[in-house]
Amino acid sequence: MKEFLLLIRSEESPKANLSPEQMQQHIEKVGGYLKRLSEEGRMKSAQPLEMAGTMLSYKNGQIVDGPYNETKEIISGYYHLLANDLEEAIAIAKKDPRFEEGIWRMEIRPIKHVEGIN
Amino acid sequence: MKSTGLNKTGELTAHFFRNEYGKLVAVITRYLGSEHVETAEDIVQDALLQATKHWDLHGIPDQPKAWLYTTARNLALNALKRRKHHRTYALHQANNTSTAEQLPFSEELIEDSQLKMMFWCCHDSIPEPSRIALILKILSGFSITEIASAFFSNKETINKRLVRGRKQLRNVEFDSPHEQHLNQRLQTVLKTIYLLFNEGYLPSSENQIIRFDLCLEAIRLAQLLSDSELITKKADIHALLALMYFNVARFKSRTSETGELMDLKEQDRSKWDAELIQYGIQFLDLVVQGDTLSSYALLATISGHHCIAKSYEKTDWTTILSLYDQLLLLEKSPIVQLNRCVVLAEVAGTPTAIEELTKLGAQTDINRYYLYHFTLAELYKREQQWSASKLAYEEARNLSKNPRDQEILKKKKQALVPYLSSQLS
* pLDDT on residue B213: 93
Among candidates B120, B143, B146, B141, which has minimal Cα distance to B131?
B120
Please answer whether residues B4 and B63 qualify as being in contact, where contact means their C-beta atoms are separated by less than 8 angstroms.
yes
Which is higher by pLDDT, A91 or B421? A91
What number is the average pLDDT over the span B394-420?
A: 84
What number is the average pLDDT over the span B38-47?
A: 95
Q: DSSP states of chain A as a string?
A: -EEEEEEEEEES-TTTT--HHHHHHHHHHHHHHHHHHHHTT-EEEEEE--S----EEEETTEEEE-PPPSSSEEEEEEEEEEESSHHHHHHHHHT-GGGGTS-EEEEEEEPP--TTT-
Could you tell me which residues are beta bridge partners of residue A73?
A11
CA–CA distance, B414 with B425 (Å, rounded to integer): 18
Q: B 146-165 residues with CB below 8 A of A?
A: 146
DSSP B382: H
C-alpha distance from A4 to closest chain B C-alpha (Å): 17
CA-based nearest residue in chain B for residue A35: B59
Which whole-number Å values give the CA distances from B4 to A1, B64, B118, B168, B205, in the listed order? 39, 6, 24, 36, 35
Write the residue in B54, B57, B146 that is nearest to A19 by C-beta.
B146
DSSP B33: -
Among candidates A19, A23, A22, A14, which has minimal Cα distance to A105?
A14
Is a pLDDT exceeding 80 seen at residue A10? yes
Which is higher by pLDDT, B263 or B296? B296
* pLDDT on residue B344: 96
Q: How many CB atoms lie within 10 A of CB B413?
A: 19
* pLDDT on residue A22: 92
Look at chain A and count its residues.
118
Mutate to test the interface with A, among B9, B52, B68, B144 (most CBs of A within 10 A): B52
Q: What is the pLDDT of residues A69-79, one digit of tens each?
A: 767 788 888 99
CA–CA distance, B402 with B408 (Å, rounded to integer): 10
What number is the average pLDDT over the span B33-47?
A: 93
Most confident range, picked from B2-6, B219-223, B396-400: B219-223
* pLDDT on residue B24: 96
Is a pLDDT exceeding 90 seen at residue B181? no
Q: Which run of H or E residues covers position B162?
A: helix B155-169
Residue B15 CA, chain-centre distance (Å), reads: 16
- Judged by a CB distance cut-off of 8 A, whether residue A10 touches chain B is no
CA–CA distance, B396 with B406 (Å, rounded to integer): 8
Residue A6 has phi, psi (to 5 degrees) of -110, 115
* pLDDT on residue B420: 79
Q: DSSP states of B70-91 as a string?
A: HHHHHHHHHHHHHTTT-HHHHH
At B86, the pLDDT band (50, 70, 90 cuts) reads low
Instruction: List b or e across B297-321, with b for residues whose CB sees 16 or more CB atoms inside 10 angstroms.
Output: bbbbbbbbbbbebeeeeebebeebb
CA–CA distance, B58 with B68 (Å, rounded to integer): 15
Please answer whether residues B130 and B161 qualify as being in contact, where contact means their C-beta atoms are separated by less than 8 angstroms.
yes
Instruction: Report the percentage of chain B scoring pLDDT > 90.
Output: 60
* Angle between helix B208-227 and B107-121 (nearest 10): 110
Segments in B170-254 forming alpha helices (H) = 179-201, 208-227, 235-248
Q: Which run of H or E residues covers position B357?
A: helix B350-363
- Judged by a CB distance cut-off of 8 A, whether residue A75 touches chain B is no
* pLDDT on residue B98: 43
At B179, the pLDDT band (50, 70, 90 cuts) reads confident
- pTM score, whole prediction: 0.84
Write the residue in B18, B21, B55 that is nearest to A27 by C-beta.
B55
* pLDDT on residue B99: 47
Most confident range, picked from A42-51, B171-180, B210-219: B210-219
Please answer whether residues A56 and A28 qualify as being in contact, where contact means their C-beta atoms are separated by less than 8 angstroms.
no
Which whole-number Å values give the CA distances from B331 to A19, B42, B197, in the listed order? 40, 43, 20
CA–CA distance, B209 with B204 (Å, rounded to integer): 11
Q: Do A31 and B59 touch (CB under 8 A)?
A: yes
- Judged by a CB distance cut-off of 8 A, whether residue A44 touches chain B is no
What number is the average pLDDT over the span B48-70?
A: 90
DSSP-derived 3-state class of residue B6 = strand
**ipTM metric:** 0.80
Task: List CB contacts (< 8 A) between A99 and chain B.
Answer: none
What number is the average pLDDT over the span B30-42?
A: 92
* pLDDT on residue B117: 94
Please answer whether residues B40 and B141 qualify as being in contact, where contact means their C-beta atoms are separated by less than 8 angstroms.
no
Instruction: Report the percentage of chain A scoring pLDDT > 90.
Output: 42
Helix (H) and strand (E) counts for chain B? 21, 0
